[in-house]
Amino acid sequence: MIGLMSRDLRVRVIMAVCIAVIAKENYPLYIRSVPTQGELKFHYTVHTSLDVVEEKISGVGKALADQRELYLGLLYPTEDYKVYGYVTNSKVKFVIVVDSSNTSLRDNEIRSMFRKLHNSFTDVMCNPFYNPGDQIQSKAFDSIVAAMMVQAC
Amino acid sequence: MSPAQWDLPPELCCRPMAFVALTGLDVTYNAVHRAIWDAFCVNRRADRVPISFKVLPGDHEYPKCRTKRTSYEWYIPKGILKTGWMNKHLNLVPALVVLFYELDWDDPQWKEKQSECATKVEIVRTSLQGRNTKVAVVLIQKKTPLPPGEDLVASERASSLCGACDLSGKSLFVLPHTDHLVGYIIRLENAFYEHAQTYYYNEIRRVKSHKEFLNKTTHQLLFVRHQFKMGFFSELKQDTQNALKYYRTAYSLVQELRAHETNIMEIKTMAGFINYKICRLCFQHNTPLDAIAQFRKHIDLCKKKIGSAELAFEHTAWMSKQFQSFGDLFDEAIKLGLTAIQTQNPGFYYQQAAYYAQERKQQAAQLCGHEPGVSYPAPDPLETTTGALDFYGQRPWRQGHQSIDPPDSEKEKQGILALQVKERDVLHSELIIALLSNAVAQFKKYKCPRMKSHLMVQMGEEYYHAKDYTKALKLLDYVMCDYRTERWWSLLTSILCTALKCSYLMGQVKDYITYSMELVGRASVLPEEQKSRIEKNLIKVLMNEVPEPEPDCDPASVKAAQSLWSDRVSLSGSNEFTIEVLDNVPFVQCKAKFVSPSFHIDEPVQLEVYVRADCPHPLRFSKLCVSLSNQEYNQYCLLEDASKGKDILSTQENMCLVPGKTRKYCFKFVAKTEDVGKKIEITAVGLMLGRETGRYVYLNWRGGWGDAASSHEALQASRSFKRRTRFPEQQVDWDTVSVQSSTMIISRVPRISVKLTHEPPALTNEMYCMTVTIKSEEDTVAKDIKLTAGLKPGQDANLTQMTQITLNSSEVCDDSHPALLPDIPIGDLQPGQKIVKHLYMRCVSTGSRIFLFHVAYSVDATVEDKDITCKCHKDETVTVETVVPFEVAMKFVSSKFEHLEHVYVDVPFLLMMDILSASPWPIELVSSDVQLVSSMTAIDTPESQVEGVTLQTGECASECILLKCPPVQNGTSTVASGQYIISWKRKSTLSETSVVKTIVILPHVMVENIPLYVHAELPSYGRVRESLPVRYHLENRTGLVQDVEISVEPSDAFMFSGLKQVRMRILPGAEQEMLYNFYPLMAGYQVLPQLNINLSRFPNISSQLLRRFLPSRTFVKPQGRNGDTSIEAA
């Protein structure tokens, strides 16, 4: 019973305010944010977080042993948001921005969000009509992302 | 309220040091006193004790001490911390007062001086009434003191002085004014420091002792005050660990205070102070994580304590200051050796400070937007009687008020109004920009280029708000390129919009056009109606009209801008602009290509330019021109507004760009004959928008294509495997147009045939004949034909020496002949005519070679109604293998055809030569000749035995000659034999071939002397039962008498008569003859009876060796008619 309850709670609490997929060359393939707050601000947040991603990736190159770890963890905290990063083996980056007030958030939950995102992204890549490097336009991917985002009430 | 209102007071930010006052020093007029004072305070190094010294007059009035409270029962505190308190203990109330007094122990007027000193001490004491400040006396003496205990007068007078001044012995010091002043001073100040520490220790205890009188309901403020004071005293005492402890307690106490609208400012101010102290000490203790954690806690606790909504800007100003001062502390710690990282550096705090400053600006704009009639209230509610506040963080109009409601609501209103009016005058943008630029500097240091760009955008936008458009544009322009190369179009669009506004407001035509072009184009994410608006403005500007103002601009600025623009319109000059497309993404794209990567000189060069526009409305251009690397062709690649031409309508339509459609323009020209073999490149394509008569802009594509985004687009398009949609006729799919920006002009295709006839492979050294047949297939005369023939350059360098070529069949090539014959003139060829040339090559070494036959000529042609003379050439190459014609094997054999290791002097032997043909073609041996050297003589006159022989492949010809070696000097030696010359030629049906001489060096041979030479003389055959006389000759070839033992072994086939065994002596140079009569018994080849010879003087010359010179068998014929008898006899 208790386990079920806590799971319910988690589903309600862990939600992102912005989700982005960034190409290997660091241009956006997909960016979606909650419509209530300034979209541009999130674009800047995601863009600036790439500094840390780049630094982490270049650091990984040195320690080959860690290369399997795709999750980059918390990139940097701002006053209002927490930015998490993830990088695939083909150097495509995922960035999730979460509200800072969301203190109950655990690392594991962020990881599972990234995993879901990665799976869905893999599906997009498998689509023979998708040209790698183009903007992602996929209903399936949209719905996965929408499910992870805070619903604008 | 000055902008510095939120700055932390300097007494809070400094490092507290014990305060010691020095009196009795006349530093202006007394040189000795001056020297003492300088020793105290000039060049204080870090290793000296932390004391702040001050010279005060002897009768200085110290701040009065208020009467000590004995009970706190009815006392209600008016605030947390008095504004003067910190300064008082840093600079006004000393921990120790030192009285300097000039007095030697043996002073003649000791009594008087002593009492004067005592009076001075008394004066100091009186003015320190009620304080715990210590007093000490320093006697400045001229004489060096004796060691303690030796000077009896001194110790006696010292104790008497102590008594008179009521001093303890520890507080009296002697300062001899001698050479070692600084040393004495350091010892003195260490003693002062101890006194000061005791003082502060006592002060801490005194403050602590108040605690028991306090109660939690009314004295909450005092708890904070006392903890803060103890912390501060501890710092003065340099006990930072305890100071930190007290401050931490103070911090938790201040957060426990009940906050309401009237005191929230005070609480926040104090919390900020204490937080600052804690963070500062944490950094000082090298525990930066503690500092960061404390600061986070502080922010989390205070973030929501906004206070009065009407003064919300105060809260954000305070928050901004908190972040800024933490950033400063952090930065200072880094300067002292702390290492920061990318994700935790002062930049984040400055950034956050800037963010709060921005918020403050917005709140100020909302809250302070009073009607113009509202003026600053009078009397000034912010004015206080003293000019300053009593307590930190209180309101000037209700100081000391601690209850929840303000005492006077009218006054409160006036006060708030006054604050709002002051806030209105604050230059927010300046504050924001300063903070942002601090943050930029930090992020630059910690490898955050994107964060830096983002902050620079914010700075640019702030400058825009502050109406400093030049600076705004400079910053935005600087970062734009980063966003463009990273392809973040959403961000680029936003920046471009701001930049467009700036350029509009400044009336910068070129910038305005550049930004508009990009905002209208495909890189912009603006909605269609915005693009449409901007394009209309762009068209206006190109037509030299004033554009519509950009939305959301300050109306006053718009007015100014409009007049600027109309000035621009009336101004005639500076109306042409060139925009390099490579640096941005304009709405027109261009691709220029040559139709083919190469063109023959006798066909026209074709060039295509594709142009496409992405703007919402169709646009006309007035000129399209292509610049080529050879500028002479530019005139042919020009499309101009042909308003004077005949066909106006069609050109007008032709020069209109319809959005989304690709237009193609073709150009054609005839290349110059000098350009054959050269590359023609498209250096640029220019597209002119606007009119040459009015204002126009020139878009320049360097290299003929591409802007900041196109290379990536081309890559994506090439990767894409989407099925290309079929376009209707005369429309082109933009992505499929490939770029060909250079072409080669190549010579005309030759119409001439070059045929080679020869018989490969070539044989080494022969004059190999190659027949070249050149036949013209031209329609006109092929003039000035030249043949270059020979070894193709670029092969192994050694081949050049190993190959020779000539036109002359009769001569034989040697080293003086070249490997390549250039430009052999042949003359003209009429259509259909042909010419044959023979070339002779000599290949000295074997292996394969490539020969080149290059025929060049010129011919007249007509292209596009132009007559040109074309140079043509045809190359023919052939690979020829060279092989050896034959192998020559030579060997020395004995007269019995046995192989010889070495030959003996004067003993005849044979030289055999085998010539084995390796050539696939028959070889005729013309002659052969052996040329001997002097150490070798032929026994009979040698004549060639192979002359005229023709050898087919694999056949062998042999000859042999009989030779003898004359005596040699010493025992054995190797001698050369000479050479063998073979004259031969290829037997060819095709052409007459010349004779080749091949020289083969004969092998060397070992020549040896032999001591005894034996040879036999016998008939060439015998007959059964008929006597066969055999005569053996033994020749002594030494200078010695030799003993020879000879025996004849019996044989089945012969009977014989003669000496069976004999021993004899042969004199030097003499010859002995031995005669035997053999009587053959059997017919056929029979082994002769063996002759054994032993030389006792030369045991190594064995009998076998000598036997080699003798025949071992002979042929015996049967008896003829009486054959039966022989059988009987057997």
- In Å, how far are B508, B535, B928 from B566, measured between CA atoms? 12, 19, 109
B273, part of any domain: no
- For residue A68, the model assigns a pLDDT of 66
The domains of chain A, with CATH numbers, are 9-148 (3.30.450.70)
Which range of residues forms the domain containing residue B698? 581-720+731-746
Query: Per-residue confidence at A4, pLDDT binned at 50, 70, 90?
Result: very low
Do B557 and B624 have their domain in common?
Answer: no
- For residue B95, the model assigns a pLDDT of 92
Q: Do residue B449 and residue A132 have CB atoms under 8 angstroms apart?
A: no
The B residues from 702 to 741 touching A (CB cutoff 8 Å) are 712, 715-716, 719-722
Which residues have a Cβ under 8 Å from the Cβ of B11 and sit 6 or more positions away?
Answer: B86, B87, B90
- For residue B653, the model assigns a pLDDT of 66
Helices H / strands E in chain B, number of each: 25, 46
B875, part of any domain: yes
Do B552 and B496 have their domain in common?
Answer: yes
CB B474 within 8 A of CB B436: no
Q: Do residue A48 and residue B447 have CB atoms under 8 angstroms apart?
A: no
Residue A153 pLDDT exceeds 80? no
Do B568 and B626 have their domain in common?
Answer: no
- For residue B225, the model assigns a pLDDT of 92
- In Å, how far are B52, B1014, B1026 from B48, measured between CA atoms? 11, 123, 144
Contact status of B454 with chain A (Cβ, < 8 Å): yes
Q: Do residue A28 and residue B716 have CB atoms under 8 angstroms apart?
A: no
Do B1038 and B1001 have their domain in common?
Answer: no
Do B818 and B951 have their domain in common?
Answer: no
Of the candidates B450, B490, B722, which has its C-beta nearest A51's C-beta? B450
Q: Do residue B454 and residue A47 have CB atoms under 8 angstroms apart?
A: yes
Residue of B nearest to A83 (CA): B343
Element (H, E) at B979: strand B978-986
In single-letter form, the type of residue at position B841 comes to M
Do B10 and B139 have their domain in common?
Answer: yes
CA distance A147 to chain B (A): 24
B790, part of any domain: yes
CA distance A2 to chain B (A): 31
The domain tally of chain B equals: 6
Do B552 and B672 have their domain in common?
Answer: no
**CATH number of the domain to which B992 belongs:** 2.60.40.10
Domain termination residue (choose one: B198, B214, B230): B198
- For residue B648, the model assigns a pLDDT of 52
Contact status of A80 with chain B (Cβ, < 8 Å): no
B263, part of any domain: no
- For residue B177, the model assigns a pLDDT of 79
Tokens encoding B349: 């705090």
Domain termination residue (choose one: B523, B543, B574): B574
Do B813 and B937 have their domain in common?
Answer: no
The three-state (H, E, C) secondary structure of B901-957, written as one string:
CEEECCCCEEEEEEEEECCCCCEEEEEEEEEECCCCEECCCCCCCCCCCEECCCCEE
Q: pLDDT averaged over chain B?
A: 85
Q: Which of B297, B456, B461, B486 to mutate to test the interface with A (most CBs of A within 10 A)?
A: B486
C-beta atoms surrounding B171 within 10 Å? 20
The strand pair at B1084-1087 and B1113-1117 is best described as antiparallel
Q: Do residue A50 and residue B450 have CB atoms under 8 angstroms apart?
A: yes
- For residue A3, the model assigns a pLDDT of 38
Alpha carbon distance, N-terminus to C-terminus of chain B: 160
Of the candidates A79, A128, A134, which has its C-beta nearest B716's C-beta? A134
Cβ neighbours of B348 in A, within 8 Å: 76, 78
Contact status of B1109 with chain A (Cβ, < 8 Å): no
Model pTM?
0.72
Query: Per-residue confidence at A66, pLDDT binned at 50, 70, 90?
Result: low
DSSP B381: T
The B residues from 338 to 357 touching A (CB cutoff 8 Å) are 342-343, 348, 352, 355
Q: Do residue A31 and residue B449 have CB atoms under 8 angstroms apart?
A: no
Give dist(CA B290, CA B279) in Å, integer. 8
CA distance B343 to chain A (A): 6
Do B542 and B623 have their domain in common?
Answer: no
Give dist(CA A97, CA A105) in Å, integer. 12
Cβ neighbours of A50 in B, within 8 Å: 450
Of the candidates B343, B457, B722, which has its C-beta nearest A129's C-beta? B722
Q: Do residue B486 and residue A133 have CB atoms under 8 angstroms apart?
A: no
Q: Do residue A76 and residue B487 have CB atoms under 8 angstroms apart?
A: no
Do B811 and B837 have their domain in common?
Answer: yes
Contact status of A131 with chain B (Cβ, < 8 Å): yes
B691, part of any domain: yes
Contact status of B304 with chain A (Cβ, < 8 Å): no
Contact status of A132 with chain B (Cβ, < 8 Å): yes
C-beta atoms surrounding B27 within 10 Å? 14
CA distance A27 to chain B (A): 5
B259, part of any domain: no
Do B943 and B1056 have their domain in common?
Answer: no
CA distance B484 to chain A (A): 10
Do B909 and B771 have their domain in common?
Answer: no
Domain termination residue (choose one: B962, B985, B1008): B1008
Residue of B nearest to A40 (CA): B491
List pLDDT tens digits, range B318-338: 999 999 999 999 999 999 988
Contact status of A52 with chain B (Cβ, < 8 Å): yes
- For residue A151, the model assigns a pLDDT of 53
Q: What is the mean pLDDT of each run of 10 residues along chain B (1130 residues)?
A: 67 91 88 88 82 87 77 80 90 92 85 89 87 89 75 82 85 83 87 92 90 82 91 93 94 89 89 95 93 93 87 92 94 91 90 93 86 77 79 85 78 87 88 94 91 93 92 92 90 92 90 91 88 90 86 87 84 76 87 90 89 87 89 85 54 77 87 87 89 82 82 79 61 79 88 88 87 88 89 84 83 80 87 88 88 90 82 89 89 82 82 89 87 81 82 88 78 78 83 81 83 84 87 85 86 85 87 88 87 81 77 84 50
B297, part of any domain: no
B820, part of any domain: yes
Q: Do residue B487 and residue A132 have CB atoms under 8 angstroms apart?
A: no
Which residues have a Cβ under 8 Å from the Cβ of B391 and sit 6 or more positions away?
Answer: B78, B79, B80, B81, B82, B83, B266, B399, B400
